[in-house]
Amino acid sequence: MMKKDEDGKSLLLEALDRYIAKNQIIPDFLASQGIIGSVSAISFEKVESYRLRSENVVREEPAYEEQEASMLPRKASKKRLLKEKPDSDISSYIEIQKNKETFSVMLDRLRKERGLESPELYKAADIDRKLYSRIMGERAYKPSKNTVISFGLALKLSDSEMDALLESAGYTLSRSVIFDLIISFCMENMIYSIPEVNALLLARKEPLLRQAAR
């Protein structure tokens, strides 16, 4: 029985590795330097800094006159855009943004649509009750990306629903990041259990979902 479990896990990891190899997008400047592993722990600023160092790029501040000149087209285009765009369109855009569901509102709607009680949801997501209460109590609360993903898995969301939930909190799943690719793999293969997802993350030396939840 143990051997069967180990074989099953091995096959799953092989499938995961094939999925990552097929779907991962590696920025050109990282690939050229041989950095093709996980970039989940590297911030954009660090990646950009590495690129600049590797290319020996030295940024110099332009002269004041050059700054002014470079700003003119941008200023002109901005004025042109405001002039061409009717006030009604701008008002409509603002109204649409105002009416968008916040993360907590969307989360509560999805929970109700699936007929789950609040304790069922936060326990399945391995989220602390106090954190859940805070999210529900503060409509503008912005949770961590890991928290959003944990709730999405607990709700067994479709890809589009997970994308919408992440977007409501200002996040997205990136095809350049191993962690995100593992999450996408789990969703495509209907692996929603937090312990099972964490086992795959651990196997590929990625941070676990609960470690960064807030």
Which residues constitute the domain of residue 34? 24-59
Q: What is the pLDDT of residue 140?
A: 87
Say if CB 165 and CB 152 are below 8 A apart. yes
Whether 125 and 206 map to the same domain: the answer is: yes
Residue 12, in any domain of the structure = no
Whether 116 and 40 map to the same domain: the answer is: no
Whether 146 and 85 map to the same domain: the answer is: no
Q: What is the pLDDT of residue 162?
A: 97
Whether 46 and 73 map to the same domain: the answer is: no
As given in the structure block, the two tokens for residue 72 are: 């003119």
Whether 41 and 108 map to the same domain: the answer is: no
Residue 37, in any domain of the structure = yes
Contacts for 55 with CB less than 8 Å, ≥ 6 apart: 29
Whether 121 and 201 map to the same domain: the answer is: yes
C-alpha distances out from residue 20 to 53, 57, 152, Å: 28, 32, 21
Q: What is the pLDDT of residue 25?
A: 87
Write the single-letter amino acid at 170. G
Say if CB 165 and CB 148 are below 8 A apart. yes
Residue 154, in any domain of the structure = yes
Q: What is the pLDDT along the chain (214 residues), one digit of tens a residue?
A: 334 456 667 889 999 999 999 999 876 545 555 554 444 444 444 444 554 454 444 444 444 444 444 444 544 555 555 556 566 666 654 555 556 799 999 999 999 999 999 999 999 999 999 999 999 999 889 999 999 999 999 999 999 999 999 999 999 999 999 999 999 999 999 999 999 999 999 999 999 997 545 6
When divided into structural domains, the chain yields a total of 3
Number of other CB atoms surrounding residue 118 within 10 Å: 14
Q: Tell which of 38, 72, 97 closes a domain.
A: 97
What pTM did the predictor assign?
0.67
Q: Which of 143, 161, 153, 203 has the alpha carbon at shortest distance from 179?
A: 203
